[in-house]
Amino acid sequence: MADAIHIRAILEQNPYDSEAKRKLIEIGSLDDLKWLYKQYPYSSEIKRALLNYEPKKNNSNHHSIKKYDVFISHATEDKQSFVEPLANALKEVGIKVWYDGFVLEWGDGLRDSIDRGLVNSKYGIVVFSKAYLNKKRKWTKHELDGLFAKEIEGKKVILPIWHNITREDLLQYSPAFADRLAKNSKFNSIKDIVMSVKKLVEKS
């Protein structure tokens, strides 16, 4: 079949051409996969391909992609009280952390930076709080959906922390997460959480 530009043109003419879509997923660049995801936002196959995308090895123009042990998904309101101290403590013991306060710089594209962090992290620490569970929030939902997509293959990715919430709060947001074994900031110290993450990372 033709190159990616030609395949895009085919799909624009016939969005139901499953063979063309499959081929573009197979040979497409990151931009092609993003384009596909806009056309088919409910396709788990495309979402998986986007999250697991790796640059072609023969493309010398790509900068080396930094890998992370954990991605921290959180609400802005929880930064000072809990998330930033946790991120610093993880970093101090040698864990490679994707945390917006560490990696985002002036002028960075937020969505692209988040997607790179999601794709290139082994685990995702999700700090569930009242602010995080606000369903109107765009970025926390995007991050959680991305981490959940990485679990489709059956491996554990999401490491939940309950921060000043109850099981009932989480049940109203997503029953699927209410029954997961989680850390609780009320009962587990940051040091305890860091040691648990370190053990997981060392095993992986």
Q: 76 and 44 in one domain?
A: no
Question: Do 86 and 43 sit in the same domain of this protein?
Answer: no
* Residue-wise pLDDT tens digits, 140-166: 888 888 888 888 766 789 999 999 999
Three-state secondary structure call for residue 66: coil
Q: Average pLDDT, stretch 164-176?
A: 88
Is the per-residue pLDDT at 21 higher than 90?
A: no
Residue 20 lies in a domain: yes
Which residue range is the domain that position 127 belongs to?
Answer: 68-203
Task: Classify residue 172: in a domain, yes or no.
Answer: yes
Number of separate domains in the chain: 2
Q: What is the pLDDT at residue 2?
A: 52
What string of DSSP letters covers 100-162?
HHHH--TT--HHHHHHHHHHTEEEEEEEE-TTTT-TT-HHHHHHHHHHHHHTTTS---EEEEE
DSSP letters, 169-191, are HHHHH-HHHHTS--EETTTS-HH
Q: Is 143 a catalytic residue?
A: yes
Residue with more model confidence, 162 or 173: 162
In contact, 137 and 75? CB cutoff 8 Å? yes
Same domain, 43 and 94: no
> Does one domain contain both 176 and 89?
yes
What is the spatial distance between Cα 118 and Cα 124, in angstroms, rounded to a whole number? 8
Q: Specify whether 122 is located in the same domain as 72.
A: yes
Q: Are residues 47 and 115 in the same domain?
A: no
Q: Which one of the listed residues 84, 105, 143, 202 is annotated catalytic? A: 143
Global pTM exceeds 0.75: no
CB atoms within 10 A of CB 76: 13
